[in-house]
Amino acid sequence: MRFASLNLLAVTVVAALTLPMVSYAGGGGMHHDASSGHESFPFGHPGDAKRVDRVIKITANEFSFMPSSLTVKAGETIKFVVTNAGKIKHEFVLGTKSEQREHDKEMQAMPHMKMDDPNGISIPKGETASLIWTFTKPMVIQYACHEPGHYAAGMYGELSVK
């Protein structure tokens, strides 16, 4: 439901600023499960901390991730431990390429929006944060940062689920 309110807010902001070039189709790539009210994702779901199969360490910097590509297996629960070695705040958000593009548009419109999506974390400079995710089927997605201008600067990596 967060995305619904987000889009509503975005429309309000856009209307207030009268920026007709920015359009919000609504919903983006995210899907809502009407029964639970929780978002669902085509590439899996938040993982159980007690069932982590593998820990993957990632370093975020201006403006890239190390490593810049990853491979996991369908069915695996991964704990991503992301260290921000940069001088500014970064994010680590999982999503399909189209979801990332949609989310980036929203973030550019509202750069100070607080990150509270289950598929992403925000990491202050010098800190380390983690995200646990269970991947359910083979596909290729991205991990990306949506701080203003970062995605456009190439701050994303390819994650292949085999």
CA dist 97 and 126 (Å) reads 28
CA dist 92 and 85 (Å) reads 13
Site membership for Cu ion, residue 103 (CB under 5 A): no
Nearer to Cu ion, 104 or 147 (CB): 147
Number of neighbouring beta carbons within 10 Å of residue 80:
22
Nearer to Cu ion, 58 or 155 (CB): 155
With CB under 5 A as the contact rule, the residue among 47, 58, 65, 150 that binds Cu ion is 150
Q: Are 49 and 130 in contact (CB under 8 A)?
A: no
Nearer to Cu ion, 90 or 103 (CB): 90
Site membership for Cu ion, residue 94 (CB under 5 A): no
With CB under 5 A as the contact rule, the residue among 78, 141, 155, 161 that binds Cu ion is 155
Nearest distance, CB of residue 153 and Cu ion, angstroms: 8
Q: Are 56 and 69 in contact (CB under 8 A)?
A: no
Nearer to Cu ion, 119 or 134 (CB): 119
What binding mask, one character per residue, do residues 108-147 give for Cu ion by CB under 5 A, x or -? -------------------------------------x-x
Nearest distance, CB of residue 87 and Cu ion, angstroms: 11
CA dist 67 and 63 (Å) reads 12
CA dist 113 and 42 (Å) reads 24
Structure tokens at 55: 């820990």
